[in-house]
């Protein structure tokens, strides 16, 4: 008996829940059905689409090319004299400044030669002083007619010869002092040391012609980005350079979102490579932050100008057909119109459109495959929540998300 009572109670509860919940659960379906019926009365079922708003903005005209970083100055350090390395003050990878002492060679022999030169100068200077004194004395005797003129002539020749000997000695001293300076090897530029190919105890020669020499020093800032462009693009660069003497060039490594360095176009080669149909351009870039490295492959983005007050839409709104580019614009009657457009340029995910659109027009960015000219749509503007919709261009523009600004890269 208790089981029968329990079963009756459960059936009663189930029936009550059904009577309470069913009208509410089925209400959404009835509303959708009613909306679909309304849509049918208006000319067909509304198609859900996502839209964006055409806007006016200044879009940079950029050209991206693959290039590589090269050093402005690279020095292969070689000895200018033969000698044994007795001191090394530098390590591989070290940063050095102009004038830093890097190596010292054994200079004992040349030091002795310099001392010998100095002694020879002293000797010849004494002979010069004696010749001068003799000339002065004999001139006094000549005035008293004690010595003949020939004696004076001989004294003058001896004096001039002694002076010449001193000049030769000084020249030899300077030459040997220069040779002595070669025994101390200094950094000719500021930069980073590469592989060192010698060490203390090694003999170096002035006749060394090896590729690496004693070591290399590479200037790390400023650096230069070198890239090539097609011959057909040369006029655009020349025109932009004539209009603006400082064309900005941004340098990005693979995977970068922001430039590692920015420079100025400084060089256009004097001729086009007839074999490849390309021409070399270069830009000097500041590398004081040390983010770039010589030999590194990069992207060089040159700003050639800008489209000012251009009408732009997201690039995904533009479709292609055999008749050309087009997009779907949403009218105030919530119907779309297929509008042929001229894409002046595309920068990143932004398209610059000709005069076919006006700022504020709504264009479809998602759902184009379901549309045809005159289709009824239910619009959701980019950036709004899925529950917020807006009917065509007649709604408030404050709910419209602005199109993403064009990227320089």
| Per-residue tens of pLDDT for the chain, all 409 residues | 556 656 666 676 676 666 555 544 444 444 444 444 444 334 468 899 999 999 999 888 888 999 999 999 999 999 999 999 999 999 999 999 999 999 999 999 999 999 999 999 999 999 999 999 998 888 888 877 777 888 888 989 999 999 999 999 999 999 999 999 999 999 999 999 999 999 999 999 999 999 999 999 999 999 999 999 999 999 989 988 888 778 899 999 999 999 999 999 999 999 999 999 999 999 999 999 999 999 999 999 998 888 888 999 999 999 998 889 999 999 989 999 999 999 988 887 899 998 788 899 999 999 989 999 899 999 888 866 444 444 445 433 333 333 333 444 3
Query: What pLDDT does residue 21 have?
Result: 55
The pair of three-digit structure tokens given for residue 320, joined into one six-digit string: 């292609």
CATH fold match for the domains 63-72+219-306 and 75-104+188-218 = no
Q: Domain boundaries in the chain?
A: 2-33, 44-60+308-399, 63-72+219-306, 75-104+188-218, 107-182
Query: What pLDDT does residue 27 have?
Result: 47
Rg of the chain over all Cα atoms, to the nearest angstrom:
44
What's 107-182's CATH class? Answer: mainly alpha
Among the listed residues 217, 251, 6, the one whose alpha carbon sits nearest the alpha carbon of residue 91: 217
Among the listed residues 99, 103, 102, the one whose alpha carbon sits nearest the alpha carbon of residue 84: 103
Largest CA distance in the chain: 175
Query: What pLDDT does residue 243 have?
Result: 80
Domain 44-60+308-399 has CATH 2.60.120.10: no
Q: What is the CATH number of domain 75-104+188-218?
A: 2.40.50.100
**What is the spatial distance between Cα 388 and Cα 180, in angstroms, rounded to a whole number?**
86
Q: Strand 377-381 relative to strand 47-53: parallel, antiparallel, unpaired? A: parallel
Give percent helix, percent strand, percent coil of the chain, each to the nearest 5. Answer: 35, 35, 35
Query: What pLDDT does residue 178 have?
Result: 95
Query: What pLDDT does residue 387 have?
Result: 42
Q: Are 77 and 88 in contact (CB under 8 A)?
A: no
Name the architecture of domain 63-72+219-306: Beta Barrel (2.40)
For the question of whether the overall pTM of this predicted structure is more than 0.75, the answer is no
Q: Are 52 and 313 in contact (CB under 8 A)?
A: yes
Return the axis-axis angle of helices 2-25 and 27-42, rounded to nearest 10°.
Answer: 30
Q: Are 164 and 188 in contact (CB under 8 A)?
A: no
């Amino acid at each position: 008996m208790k089981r029968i009572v329990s079963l009756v109670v459960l059936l009663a509860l189930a029936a009550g829940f059904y009577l309470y919940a069913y009208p509410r659960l089925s209400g959404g379906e009835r509303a959708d059905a009613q909306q679909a019926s309304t849509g049918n009365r208006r000319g067909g079922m509304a198609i859900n689409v996502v839209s964006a708003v055409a806007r006016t903005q200044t879009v940079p005209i950029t050209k991206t090319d693959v290039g590589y970083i090269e050093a402005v100055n690279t020095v292969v350090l070689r000895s200018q004299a033969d000698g044994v390395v007795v001191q090394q003050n530098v390590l591989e990878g070290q940063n050095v400044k102009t004038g830093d002492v890097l190596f010292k060679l054994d200079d004992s022999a040349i030091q002795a030669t310099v001392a010998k030169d100095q002694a020879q100068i002293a000797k010849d200077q004494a002979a010069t002083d004696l010749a001068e004194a003799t000339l002065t004395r004999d001139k006094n005797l000549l005035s008293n007619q004690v010595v003949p003129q020939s004696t004076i002539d001989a004294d003058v020749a001896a004096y001039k010869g002694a002076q010449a000997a001193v000049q030769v000695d000084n020249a030899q001293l300077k030459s040997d002092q220069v040779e002595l300076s070669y025994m101390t090897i200094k950094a000719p530029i500021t930069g980073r040391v590469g592989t060192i190919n010698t060490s203390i105890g090694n003999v170096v020669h002035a006749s060394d012609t090896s590729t690496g020499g004693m070591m290399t020093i590479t200037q790390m800032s400023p650096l230069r980005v070198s890239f090539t462009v097609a011959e057909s693009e040369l006029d655009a660069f020349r025109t932009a350079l004539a209009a603006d003497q400082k064309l900005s060039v941004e340098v990005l490594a693979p995977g970068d979102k922001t430039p590692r360095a920015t420079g100025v176009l400084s060089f256009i080669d004097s001729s086009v490579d007839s074999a490849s149909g390309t021409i070399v351009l270069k830009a000097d870039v500041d590398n004081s932050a040390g983010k770039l490295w010589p030999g590194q492959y990069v992207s060089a983005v040159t700003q050639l100008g800008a489209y000012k007050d251009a009408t732009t839409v997201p690039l995904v709104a533009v479709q292609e057909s055999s008749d050309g580019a087009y997009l779907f614009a949403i009218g105030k009657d919530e119907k779309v119109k297929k509008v042929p457009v001229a894409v002046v340029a595309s920068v990143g995910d932004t398209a610059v459109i000709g005069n076919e659109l006006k700022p504020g027009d709504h264009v479809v960015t998602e759902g184009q495959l379901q549309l045809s000219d005159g289709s009824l749509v239910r619009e959701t503007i980019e950036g709004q929540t899925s529950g917020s919709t807006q009917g065509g261009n007649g709604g408030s523009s404050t709910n419209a998300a602005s199109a993403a600004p064009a990227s320089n890269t």
